[in-house]
Structure 1
């Protein structure tokens, strides 16, 4: 069995490549969940809202949802769309 020698230059190059890959992955996701469908507790945590507030968003049609069995799922794109459509810009005069 042949032994392969790893030099400090090899390790340095590996470190640089690894850091570049990690930066690329973080930039692609930019803190967003990687899942398309989120459960209620995940949405509450993401938005920092109570179960009652989430229920109100469902009931008044602000946030679309899908219910399968007893589990409610929310599309991450719908959450982003809801936030974008309710966005206000404060203009100072």
Structure 2
């Protein structure tokens, strides 16, 4: 095995670069619940109309953020909506 000798400055530069790469990887691997969907993405994901999304917002079914006319939904809120409305399958004993 061959040894490589680095100066203190070179070592610090290398460590800094590795830290930057690590931060970039962590940013790209954000958990899905940490991401936001715009209104169009939400409509497509849930397969609903604009009117249904508006009703859900008005009735407090789903939380949202609004900046100007743009509406955003946190993926964790979408997951919570689906979890709160989850119904377990039941066993059908008919034969």
TM-score tier after normalising by the smaller chain length = 0.5 to 0.7
Residue number in structure 2 paired with 1:53: 52
1:76 maps onto 2:75 in alignment? yes
Which runs of 4 or more aligned residues in structure 1 lie more than 2 Å from their structure 2 counterparts after TM superposition? 32-35
Alignment of 1:1-93 (within 5 A): 36-92=35-91, 93=93
Larger RCO, structure (CA 8 Å, separation 6 or more): 2
**Structure with greater Cα Rg:** 2
TM-score, length basis structure 2? 0.59
Q: CA RMSD in A?
A: 2.4
Runs of 5+ in structure 1 lacking a partner?
Answer: 1-27
TM-score, length basis structure 1? 0.60
Residue number in structure 1 paired with 2:18: none
Runs of 5+ in structure 2 lacking a partner?
Answer: 1-28
* Number of matched pairs: 64
